[in-house]
Amino acid sequence: MSSRIELKPSPTPLNPTERALRTKNLRFGAVFTDHMVSMTYRDSGWGDAVLEAYRSITLDPAASVLHYGQAIFEGFKAYRQRDGGVATFRPEANARRFANSARRLAMPELPEDVFVEAADALIQQDRDWVPPALGESLYVRPLMVATEAALGVRPAREYLFLVIASPSGAYFPKGVKPVSVWISDDFVRAAPGGTGDTKCAGNYAASLVAQRQALEQGCDQVVWLDAVERRFVEEMGGMNLFFVYTSGGRTKLVTPKLTGSLLPGVTRDSILKLAPELGYDTEESLISVDQWQADLASGSMTEVFACGTAAVITPVGVVKSRLGEWTVHQGETGPVAARLRETLLAIQHGEAEDTHGWMHRVL
Ligand code: COI
């Protein structure tokens, strides 16, 4: 497929000194590499991909994404390996989810191999932008938007697929310290039959007002409840949640089950697969707010953490709702969250054996 990517690299990439300046004190998603890959869809087919200098794009004011929001995206990371090479973590899982998101939004599917190879080409070109430190990575952001100029409400006939990349450090400004969460009862993220299990831009737009409310309540993040009973915990911001139970020497990780309104996270899935190897039991089930509060009070629930590609694993230290406030693990990072985070990062940076075949070597 690489032959289908036309290589038109920038004649003026940043020099190493400028790049080093730009990537000092890395935050998340604030700096972009020299290149991008673009590909257009029209006349019922995908054109050739082009790797070119990172640039602004032009859109017709009637482009249907600006009106009716056909926009989807993905996120995965490229990690510097111990031998100096570069590998991505489960990119084919993101390719599959991207295709699912496209189907739900009546957008054309991109073949999964094209998705992965477009990202590989960008990472290969911008290899010097992959940061070396543990916990740092090159965050890869594929996206697709409807570009057809047409105001009729129907699936567009023209689309633009792009891949951009951003060298990134910790997602949350305070690093991997536990976050405080506000359980939203005014807003829901997703409803049965909706788009909650896709990575469409609208899900994130609809979350912002609740996130702002969480900040007003003195919390870092919002926690979403199910739309029907407003009782069962679904997600935290854009991340999945895990509840850790410890009793009689056994540890069990419980995560909200995928009812259709939750995003099936790649990190969530990876934790479920890794857990048994670390001696943890797992369970996917419904967890109510009442149960969360009661199990913390009884001491059976010992930790809570969120997981996602961007922040990997983030402990939850404080939970607030209109019913009151609870502390988890004295507001500190617990041993299970810390161990899972270390285990995942070690696999991602090639420091631990990749027994699942998750790493995709790019360089
Ligand atoms: C992730 O956890 O990777 C996310 O989905 C957050 C992202 C939208 C920045």
pLDDT in tens, 79-95: 999 999 999 999 999 99
Q: Give the mean model confidence (pLDDT) for residues 225-248.
A: 97
Q: Whose CA is nearest to atom 5 of ligand 1?
A: 238
- Tell me how far CA of residue 8 lies from CA of 4, 117, 141, 158, 336, in angstroms: 13, 16, 20, 23, 46
| pLDDT above 80: residue 2 | no
pTM of the model: 0.97
Question: Given the CA of residue 28, which atom of ligand 1 is nearest to it?
Answer: 9
Mutation probe of ligand 1 site: the residue of 309, 313, 314, 344 with most atoms within 8 A of C-beta: 309
The band of 174, judged by pLDDT with boundaries at 50, 70 and 90, is confident
Map residue 153 onto helix, strand or coil: coil
Map residue 242 onto helix, strand or coil: strand
The predicted structure's pLDDT at residue 296 = 97
Closest CA to 268 of 292, 301, 234: 234
Question: Given the CA of residue 171, which atom of ligand 1 is nearest to it?
Answer: 9
φ/ψ bin of 312: left (φ > 0), alpha (ψ from -120 to 50), beta (otherwise): left
- Portions of the chain given CATH number 3.30.470.10: 5-168
| CA 74 – ligand 1 centroid, Å | 8
Q: Give the mean model confidence (pLDDT) for residues 13-26.
A: 96
Residue that has been written with the tokens 């991602």 in this structure: 348
| CA 247 – ligand 1 centroid, Å | 32
Mutation probe of ligand 1 site: the residue of 88, 239, 307 with most atoms within 8 A of C-beta: 239
| CA 223 – ligand 1 centroid, Å | 15
| pLDDT above 50: residue 250 | yes
| CA 68 – ligand 1 centroid, Å | 23
Closest CA to 46 of 91, 1, 88: 1
- Identify whether the C-beta of residue 108 lies closer than 8 Å to the C-beta of residue 102: yes
Which structure tokens are listed for 234?
């679904």
Buried/exposed code over 318-352 (b: 16+ C-beta within 10 A; e: otherwise): bbbbeeeebebbeeebbebbbebbebbbebbbbee
| pLDDT above 80: residue 1 | no
- Portions of the chain given CATH number 3.20.10.10: 179-348
| CA 18 – ligand 1 centroid, Å | 28
Question: Check: CATH 3.30.420.40 for 179-348?
Answer: no
| pLDDT above 80: residue 322 | yes
List the CATH code of the domain at 5-168: 3.30.470.10
Q: Give the mean model confidence (pLDDT) for residues 246-253.
A: 96
Mean pLDDT for the chain overall: 97
Q: Whose CA is nearest to atom 2 of ligand 1?
A: 308
| pLDDT above 70: residue 237 | yes
The band of 170, judged by pLDDT with boundaries at 50, 70 and 90, is confident
